[in-house]
Amino acid sequence: MAEQFLGAGAMGRVYRASREGTLERDYVVKVFGSSSPNANARFRREGEVMAKIDHPHVVKVVATGQEGALPYMVLEYVEG
């Protein structure tokens, strides 16, 4: 999985990543940058809620997880 840093904001960092193999696709990995347990829980809930939305004008959440103390979301990549 190759990574490319796309940007950062007040709440975290965003990377572009690609999955190699038979289902090669590009994704966005949004890594939350807070160490607050309450803020991390809120970020995880945001990912869970967004994953339930199925609309052609809303980016789909592919996965959510946590690496160490930092939660993350994997979203489909949309050019632009």
* 32/65 Cα distance (integer angstroms): 11
- Following CA atoms 46, 52, 53, 59 in sequence, which dihedral angle do they give, to the nearest 10 degrees? 70
What's the pTM? 0.81
Q: What is the pLDDT of residue 2?
A: 53
Nearest to 59, CA basis, from 31, 30, 34: 30
Kindly give the parts of the chain with pLDDT less than 70: 1-2, 21-23
For the stretch 7-35, what's the b/e string if a residue is b when 16 or more beta carbons lie within 10 angstroms of its beta carbon?
A: eeeeebbbbeeeeeeeeeeebbbbbbebe
Q: What is the pLDDT of residue 20?
A: 73
Q: What is the pLDDT of residue 40?
A: 86
